[in-house]
Amino acid sequence: MSSMKWVSKKVAILGSHAVGKTSLINQFIYNKFPENYLTTIGLKVDKKTVETDDYQLDMVIWDIAGQDNMAKVPQYYLNGCSGIIFVLDLTRPPTYESVQIQLERIQKITGKDIDILVAGNKSDLLTEAEIEKVRSQISVELDMVTSAKYGENVEELFLILAKKLIKRESQKA
């Protein structure tokens, strides 16, 4: 019988304002989608424990206020980060037109090899054909297409990141 290993990892949720970062977190942690929009000021920290493989992972999730330019994110918000979910709004081209540049800025800020997933949110507002058209316009591959409103692929998005973080942790052991 193997014993469960416990690990805690800091995860940041980044992207432009109003792309659905907080809604994704609320859906993942509380299975709720608040209909009233409240903008995040500065940052909000939540935690959810996920069990996968032989690990119990505490995901300490930093919901960082939306920025159109990742260079404006205070560097200390990303210090100690093990993973990032970068969120795009599939209905707003300005949130994904410069995604490659933004991801490069994040990599420069973190200064290390870090697991980054890219999520296209608000899929509930588009048809499948429209989503495919947007995918073709984005300069990076989307790791997941989500709907925070209906919970579509939200749990899966966070679990993919959790598994990547645990894989990296187990390689250190």
| C-alpha neighbours within 13 Å on the C-beta side of residue 92 | 14
pLDDT given for residue 43 in this prediction:
82
pLDDT given for residue 14 in this prediction:
94
Cross-strand bridge partners of residue 12: 62, 84
Selection from 104, 106, 91, 102 nearest residue 137 by Cα: 91
pLDDT given for residue 76 in this prediction:
85
Dihedral sign, Cα of residue 94, residue 135, residue 40, residue 10: negative
pLDDT given for residue 1 in this prediction:
45
- The pLDDT tens digits for 101-148 are 889 888 888 877 789 999 999 999 999 999 999 999 998 999 999 999
- The pLDDT tens digits for 18-36 are 899 999 999 999 998 877 6
Residue 155: band (very low, low, confident or very high) from pLDDT cuts 50, 70, 90: very high
Please, where are the H alpha helices in 59-153? 75-78, 99-110, 128-137
Please, where are the H alpha helices in the chain? 21-30, 75-78, 99-110, 128-137, 154-172
The residue with greater pLDDT, 172 or 24, is 24
pLDDT given for residue 93 in this prediction:
95
Q: What is the Cα–Cα distance from 61 to 129, expressed in whole angstroms?
A: 32
Q: What is the Cα–Cα distance from 145 to 152, expressed in whole angstroms?
A: 8
Residues 6+ apart with CB under 8 A from 129: none
Percentage of the chain exceeding pLDDT 70: 94
Q: What stretch of H or E contains 13? A: strand 5-15
CB 104 within 8 A of CB 118: no
pLDDT given for residue 37 in this prediction:
62
**What pTM did the predictor assign?**
0.92
The residue with greater pLDDT, 143 or 53, is 143
Mean pLDDT for 67-91 is: 88
